[in-house]
Amino acid sequence: MIANGNAASHRVTQWLSEFDDALSRSDPAAAAALFAEESYWRDLVAFTWNISTAEGRPAIRAMLEETLAQVKPRNWRLEGEATQTDGITEAWIIFETEVARGKGHIRLTDGLCWTLLTTMAELKGHEERRGETREKGTEHGVVPGRASWLERKAREEAELGYTRQPYVLVVGGGQGGIGLGARLKRLGVPAIVIDKHARPGDQWRSRYKSLALHDPVWYDHLPYLPFPEHWPVFSPKDKIGDWLESYVKVMELNYWTNCEAKRASYDEEREEWTVVVERDGATLTLRPKQLVLATGMSGIANEPKFPGMEWFEGTQHHSSRHPGGDAFAGKKAVVIGSNNSAHDICADLYEHGADVTMVQRSSTHVVRSEPLMRHALGALYSEEAVKAGVTTEIADLIFASIPYRIMHTFQIPVYEAIAKEDAEFYARLEKAGFMLDWGDDGSGLFMKYLRRGSGYYIDVGASELVADGKIKLKSGVDVKEIRAHSVVLSDGTELPADLIVYATGYGSMNGWAAQLISQEVADKVGKVWGLGSDTTKDPGPWEGEQRNMWKPTRQPGLWFHGGNLHQSRHYSQFLALQLKARFEGIPTPVYGAREVHHVA
């Protein structure tokens, strides 16, 4: 193994040396020639001040031609030992640019680079203080008029947003806004995170009672402050709410509760935003240079418009406003939709003694939680991974090292294995009439999430109820109309209803921009999320990265942040570094800005 490791390490060191030579000679052609014909260079901010993947030699060469003179990359080094498996040599690398230190990952095949990941780790001269560079906390000696930590904190709270403007305004204080806020705090970028709720964590607390995270704890850590070792695998919603609240306090965020952004506009000349907010009922105007929308990757709720809704005499609401099943024992409930929320809500209503019918309008991808964790996440995010030395940082970087273009090829076998293992489970679901799918190309849940952010259910028990008929199912139908006490379906069925829940999903995140800024800006920015995979709800052309997320948009000073806890944690690093560089006046020429092909 050591000999093997050393041989592999030698290969990588050799490659890095040639690569370094080519880059130092400013020879993009020679550098690109070190890549295989099928090759991918994914860059997170280090070369492109963008989140961007160059696919193939010509694209890599073009990227280098544009960026090399400014980036001045150097000191490429192997970190640790390389490994060799199935003809692929893999290694961790570090490097520097003119302004930053970076960390990367490389895969070689036949001596050429197949995948390269470059990420910015820190800006030189602007490193976060931690470990041996941490602050002392108190100034020893005599400091007349010294302000205590509490006084300095109170002063900052009194000034920021009033007599002193934040450089960044983050709208939305869920896990996304909070994690980004923490990174900006550690980087010394004046920022305010605002949220309409009364307490941090209310974004979770206010959802239906039975909600728990569907992702496991190892996947969910926030930056800087990991969950302790006893934290449950799947956090109940109120517990994660409390964690977020404590996190805000401990990380000393400038977090404004009871605060809503009412409208925003961008002054091109002053290069700054005017954002009118209402805080605790008082209206004030903020003038940040950068505006981050972290209002939820799900965007604005899709409120359906079915004929007759206005005549319904029971309770009806979108799933995002559903409080839980407590009040519906013995009642008749109809849930329109068949994704995660629909299933969770149906199961909860059933548990509370309601008579529930799920209306499935199109096919859904279902995976049981246990095999999903084991097959899809286990190698990187699990107790076994922790034991094998796969820290959260390592897991995130390995994950990031897989180019989106070929990610589905890694995913398909995972779901084939699950389909085989759970064949009996799927057969029972289909027998009950449930319409199943595995994604357009069989690549399963995570690709559906990345492409469209919908279309699946991580089964934590509801599917069994569907298979058993305990949750009644009407599938392959649509809603024709709503009557005073019933839902009428396209096949003529009339379902009596005291409660209707519309689990009809969410729009694109640029809906938030339309709401807060203008439709014009929302259209300029275009659709947010998705890869351009030319699959259902993710139209092409191919983008190579998620649209508009964590990177510059077509609207100067406007950014989108969010996603699940993993994405919020990982990508907040790169968004925070982009904002920090701008705050410090470090040039940030953006390479590879994309055309907008879809407005929503």
Q: Is there binding between residue 470 and a copy of itself (CB under 8 A)?
A: yes
Scan for tokens 């489970």, then name that residue. Answer: 425
Considering only 221-229, 274-282, 286-294, 335-343, which stretch makes contact with a copy of itself by CB under 8 A? Answer: 221-229
Closest to a copy of itself by CB, 201 vs 453, is: 201
Question: In angstroms, what is the minimal distance from the CB of 213 to a copy of itself?
Answer: 8
Cβ atoms of residues 178 and 247 within 8 Å: yes
Number of residues that bind a copy of itself (CB under 8 A): 61
DSSP state, residue 436: B
C-alpha distance from residue 419 to each of 91, 413, 428 (Å): 33, 10, 13
Closest to a copy of itself by CB, 379 vs 477, is: 379
C-alpha distance from residue 426 to each of 189, 412, 469 (Å): 51, 17, 14
- Provide the CA 426 distance to its chain's centre, in angstroms: 29
Scan for tokens 């869920």, then name that residue. Answer: 174
For the record, the structure tokens of 109 come out as 């095949």
User: Binding a copy of itself by CB under 8 A: which of 128, 260, 278, 481?
Assistant: 128
Rounded CA gap, 554 and 548, in Å? 9
Say what angle helices 423-431 and 404-421 make with each other, to 10 degrees.
Answer: 80
Q: Is there binding between residue 2 and a copy of itself (CB under 8 A)?
A: no
Look at residues 121, 88, 108 and name the one whose alpha carbon lies nearest to residue 40: 108
The mark string for 133-172 relative to a copy of itself (x by CB under 8 A, - otherwise) is: -xxxxx-xxxxxxx-xxxx-x-------------------
The mark string for 171-200 relative to a copy of itself (x by CB under 8 A, - otherwise) is: ---------------x--------------
DSSP state, residue 53: E
Closest to a copy of itself by CB, 119 vs 235, is: 235
Q: Is there binding between residue 229 and a copy of itself (CB under 8 A)?
A: yes
- Tally of CB atoms within 10 A around 249: 11
User: Binding a copy of itself by CB under 8 A: which of 81, 242, 278, 437?
Assistant: 242
Closest to a copy of itself by CB, 231 vs 405, is: 231
User: Binding a copy of itself by CB under 8 A: which of 238, 260, 416, 437?
Assistant: 238
Question: In angstroms, what is the minimal distance from the CB of 502 to a copy of itself?
Answer: 23
- Tally of CB atoms within 10 A around 263: 12
Q: Which 363-422 residues touch a copy of itself, going by CB under 8 A?
A: 369, 383, 386
User: Binding a copy of itself by CB under 8 A: which of 233, 276, 412, 435?
Assistant: 233
Scan for tokens 């005499």, then name that residue. Answer: 313
Rounded CA gap, 2 and 25, in Å? 34
The mark string for 276-315 relative to a copy of itself (x by CB under 8 A, - otherwise) is: ----------------------------------------
- H-state helical runs in 326-382: 340-351, 369-371
Q: Is there binding between residue 234 and a copy of itself (CB under 8 A)?
A: yes
Query: For the chain, first and last CA: distance in Å?
Result: 52
| Reduced 3-state DSSP string for 119-143 | EEEEECCCCCCCHHHCCCCCCCCCC
Closest to a copy of itself by CB, 358 vs 558, is: 358
User: Binding a copy of itself by CB under 8 A: which of 50, 89, 175, 210?
Assistant: 210
Question: In angstroms, what is the minimal distance from the CB of 171 to a copy of itself?
Answer: 25
Closest to a copy of itself by CB, 15 vs 218, is: 218
Rounded CA gap, 206 and 240, in Å? 12
Closest to a copy of itself by CB, 235 vs 364, is: 235
* Strand-pair partners of 42: 53, 117
Q: Which 34-93 residues touch a copy of itself, going by CB under 8 A?
A: none
Q: Is there binding between residue 524 and a copy of itself (CB under 8 A)?
A: no
Scan for tokens 């002053």, then name that residue. Answer: 270
Considering only 119-127, 131-139, 268-276, 521-529, which stretch makes contact with a copy of itself by CB under 8 A? Answer: 131-139
Rounded CA gap, 544 and 114, in Å? 16
Q: Is there binding between residue 115 and a copy of itself (CB under 8 A)?
A: no
Closest to a copy of itself by CB, 243 vs 502, is: 243
| φ and ψ of 558, to 5 deg | -115, 130
In sequence order, what E strands does 56-203 have? Answer: 74-85, 88-96, 100-109, 112-123, 168-171, 191-194
Considering only 238-246, 263-271, 294-302, 333-341, which stretch makes contact with a copy of itself by CB under 8 A? Answer: 238-246
For the record, the structure tokens of 196 come out as 């309409």
Question: In angstroms, what is the minimal distance from the CB of 201 to a copy of itself?
Answer: 11
Question: In angstroms, what is the minimal distance from the CB of 147 to a copy of itself?
Answer: 9
Closest to a copy of itself by CB, 36 vs 233, is: 233
Amino acid at 256: W
Question: In angstroms, what is the minimal distance from the CB of 155 to a copy of itself?
Answer: 13
User: Binding a copy of itself by CB under 8 A: which of 323, 353, 540, 556?
Assistant: 353
User: Binding a copy of itself by CB under 8 A: which of 235, 533, 548, 572?
Assistant: 235
- H-state helical runs in 160-281: 175-186, 202-205, 217-220, 237-250
Q: Using only C-alpha atoms, what is the Rg of the chain?
A: 25
| φ and ψ of 447, to 5 deg | -65, -40
Closest to a copy of itself by CB, 3 vs 143, is: 143
Question: In angstroms, what is the minimal distance from the CB of 139 to a copy of itself?
Answer: 8
Rounded CA gap, 96 and 137, in Å? 31
Q: Is there binding between residue 507 and a copy of itself (CB under 8 A)?
A: no
**What region does 281 belong to: left with phi over 0, alpha with psi -120 to 50, or beta?**
left
User: Binding a copy of itself by CB under 8 A: which of 199, 239, 287, 485?
Assistant: 239
Residue ranges binding a copy of itself (CB under 8 A): 128-132, 134-138, 140-146, 148-151, 153, 186, 205, 209-210, 212-213, 217, 224-225, 228-239, 242-243, 245-246, 249-250, 347, 350-351, 353, 369, 383, 386, 460-461, 464-465, 470
